Amino acid sequence: MSDLFAEHKNRLSELITKYRDRVDFLTIRLEQAAETNILLRQSKIETLSESIAVGGQVRACYRGGWGFSAFDDLNSLVERIEEAIAAAKIVGDSETILATFEPIQTVCHVPIKGSDPRNVSLADKKALCDRYDELLRGYHDCLTTTTVSYGDSSQRIILATSEGSLIEQSWSDMEMRFSATARKDDALQTGRETTGSRQAYEDLTNLDQQVISAAQRAVDALSLPKIKGDIYTVVIDPILTGLFVHEAFGHLSEADMVYENPDLLEVMSMGKRFGPPELQIFDGAAPMESEDNYVHRGSYFYDDEGTPATTTQLIKDGVLVGRLHSRETAGKLEETPTGNARCLDYHHSPIVRMTNTWIARGKTPVQDLIKDVNEGVYARNWLGGMTNGEMFTFSAGEAWMIRQGELAEPVKDVTLSGNVFKTLANIEAIGDDFYWDESGGCGKGGQSGLAVGCGGPSLRIKEVTIGGNSD
């Protein structure tokens, strides 16, 4: 990619200076993005593409009203600024309230530990997909449909604000997805695996076991009995813990969900107990050197408003102590900005989004989580799920019955559902293991596929509703 930023950096500063007095707040963002997308279905190529996009966005705020304009033609920047300012003045009718921080001028890059995907040829990426496709298709002749997808995106942005910030930031993100559907008579079962990385292309080159696991789960499920629907004590693995903390709790911690909803704000009031004293929940984008958080798929140094990335504790000792903010939500709730305003790309305005969300490891040895469960369910991995406010439903990728403290027969079609607040309160034990799941692609506000990380330990939870066969 040509050095767009060197050509336009001074121009952005000049335009900000020219227009900043016309509104309360003004930002200009320029973006370069390079993408690769490959999709194989039944070994046939459905997508094989490389693309480069250059564009930007302007955001203006006047008397609490926001104007937004995106553009692909950099020569139209002046017109887009005036367009955003005009829109803000049409809708602004109150007061602009934004949390403040010191202006920042910096250049930064989310570190890559191995190969950058931009330096890997399209032919090599296609060959990797072919290898995984052969593993899927060759597992069993009852597999009727197999898919392998690869995607990477390298973004480089420059953000200039009317308060004096000028930030250049870049990162690369990669993801692979595998699925296999097996058929026997009228029965269909699907196994899926997804993984990603913001650290190295090599993280995607040794996934043979995960690929085979997707096919194996689909084939094995054809002959498994369905679980009897009931209320069980459930032990979930770290992958399901990560999904639960992100989908069921994390979205409720996003402040734009609560600051205009008095009922939800009351439910999510600071100091309220939601779980046992051992429960600690965090969200954080800042790359750091530690055992459980280095660079994950939601990592960056500054969010898309220029706020420094932080690590925010949401639950401390079972009690709500924090939430995730943009500058506007932090200002209106009189709380500290957390650096969680994110946009998928320059076509979209930043909104409050999670980054890397996790439950901290506990002290219960993993093998002890099932010891005193007379009848329960052990669930691993995820197949799908959805949330609606405080209610959630997740499908496990694999599951076994627990009987008299031991793993027993495997079962299928295990769907866990419930109320997130009741479920948090029903956590009985937190395992001493931990795993980061890098498969996350989060959707919100029409912006789907935003890279996030999820992590956690195994959990034992009482009184979980499991869907399945009835007597």
**pLDDT tens per residue, the chain (471 residues)?**
456 677 788 899 999 999 999 999 999 999 999 999 999 999 999 999 999 999 999 999 999 999 999 999 999 999 999 999 999 999 999 999 999 989 999 999 998 989 999 999 999 999 999 999 999 999 999 999 999 999 999 999 999 999 999 999 999 999 999 999 999 988 899 999 999 999 999 999 999 999 999 999 999 999 999 999 999 999 999 999 999 999 899 999 999 988 888 898 999 999 999 999 999 999 999 876 544 447 999 999 999 999 999 999 999 999 999 999 999 999 999 999 999 999 999 999 999 999 999 999 999 999 999 999 999 999 999 888 888 889 999 999 999 999 999 999 999 999 999 999 999 999 999 999 999 999 878 999 999 999 999 999 999 999 999 986 544
Q: Are residues 70 and 155 in the same domain?
A: yes
Q: Are residues 144 and 193 in the same domain?
A: yes
Q: Are residues 209 and 248 in the same domain?
A: no
Q: Which of 195, 221, 247 is the last residue of a domain?
A: 221
Q: Which of 167, 186, 221 is the last residue of a domain?
A: 221
Q: Domain range spanning residue 184?
A: 4-221
Predicted confidence at residue 291, as pLDDT, reads: 47
Predicted confidence at residue 309, as pLDDT, reads: 95
CATH number at residue 169: 3.30.2290.10
Provide the whole-model pTM.
0.95
Q: Are residues 255 and 404 in the same domain?
A: yes
Question: How many structural domains does the chain have?
Answer: 2
Predicted confidence at residue 359, as pLDDT, reads: 98
Q: Are residues 243 and 102 in the same domain?
A: no
Predicted confidence at residue 293, as pLDDT, reads: 47
Q: Which of 176, 202, 221 is the last residue of a domain?
A: 221
Predicted confidence at residue 190, as pLDDT, reads: 93
Q: Are residues 146 and 291 in the same domain?
A: no
Predicted confidence at residue 385, as pLDDT, reads: 81
Predicted confidence at residue 260, as pLDDT, reads: 81
Q: Are residues 258 and 196 in the same domain?
A: no
Q: Are residues 196 and 241 in the same domain?
A: no
The amino acid sitting at 7 is E
Predicted confidence at residue 292, as pLDDT, reads: 47
Q: Is the dihedral of CA 410, 414, 420, 426 positive or negative?
A: negative
Q: Are residues 115 and 56 in the same domain?
A: yes
Q: Are residues 271 and 197 in the same domain?
A: no
Q: Are residues 281 and 343 in the same domain?
A: yes
Q: Are residues 203 and 247 in the same domain?
A: no
